[in-house]
């Protein structure tokens, strides 16, 4: 695949995620694709379909915006820096994310997504108990820093 084709495929997947178009997203991946996310590892079309369906049901107003380095391509691999934003359970959130895409035969074979789930939880926590729990975890991870 050319650099432009890889960039186009990555942008196509992101566009389908924002639209909640699970069928389109799956069409861009191999049947045996593996997607590693903060929520777990999803192997094969069936598992990825379940993950994508869950995202489309849980995240409203999903928006993914290229930022920072944008998309860098080397060989059959593309890396993107982006902001992820949406609404979950009525709470808006936005986090920085990075994804690494590996292609085989013009389709995504491996995808690794990383983003700060704790930052997302800080923004989406509702109620006193949830907010205290998240703050407690944040304070424990930053102990001695400040």
CATH number at residue 93: 3.10.450.50
Strands 29-37 and 60-74: unpaired
How many residues are there in the chain?
146
Residues 21 and 8 in one domain: yes
Residues 98 and 88 in one domain: yes
Over the stretch 52-67, which tens digit does the pLDDT of each residue have? 999 999 999 999 999 9
Q: Determine the 3-state secondary structure of 31 from DSSP.
A: strand
Query: What range defines the domain where residue 45 resides?
Result: 3-115
Over the stretch 128-141, which tens digit does the pLDDT of each residue have? 898 888 888 888 88
Beta-carbon count within 10 A of 125 CB: 18
Residue 34 confidence (pLDDT): 98
Residues 66 and 28 in one domain: yes
Q: How many domains does the chain have?
A: 2
| pTM, rounded to two decimals | 0.87
Average pLDDT in the 71-95 region? 93
Residues 100 and 126 in one domain: no
Residues 23 and 35 in one domain: yes
Whether 98 contacts 114, CB under 8 Å: yes
Residues 104 and 37 in one domain: yes
| Average pLDDT of the chain, as a whole number | 93
Average pLDDT in the 1-22 region? 96
Say how far residue 19 (Cα) sits from the centre of its chain. Answer: 14
Task: Reply yes or no on whether the pLDDT at 21 is more than 90.
Answer: yes
Residues 103 and 50 in one domain: yes
Residues 17 and 48 in one domain: yes
Closest to 14 measured CA to CA, from 106, 68, 78: 78
Residues 76 and 16 in one domain: yes
Residue 116 confidence (pLDDT): 85
Residues 79 and 31 in one domain: yes
Average pLDDT in the 3-21 region? 96
């Amino acid at each position: 695949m050319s650099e432009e084709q890889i960039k186009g495929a990555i942008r196509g997947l992101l566009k389908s995620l924002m639209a909640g178009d699970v069928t389109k997203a799956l069409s861009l991946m191999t049947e045996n694709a593996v997607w590693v996310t903060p929520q777990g590892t999803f192997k094969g079309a069936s598992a990825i379909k379940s993950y994508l369906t869950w995202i489309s049901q849980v995240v409203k107003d999903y928006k993914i915006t290229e930022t920072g380095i944008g998309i860098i391509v080397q060989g059959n691999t593309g890396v993107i820096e982006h902001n992820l934003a949406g609404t979950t359970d009525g709470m808006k959130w936005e986090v920085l994310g990075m994804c690494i895409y590996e292609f085989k035969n013009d389709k995504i074979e491996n995808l690794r997504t990383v983003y700060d789930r704790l930052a997302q939880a800080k923004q989406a926590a509702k109620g006193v108990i949830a907010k205290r729990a998240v703050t407690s975890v944040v304070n424990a991870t930053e102990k001695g820093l400040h």
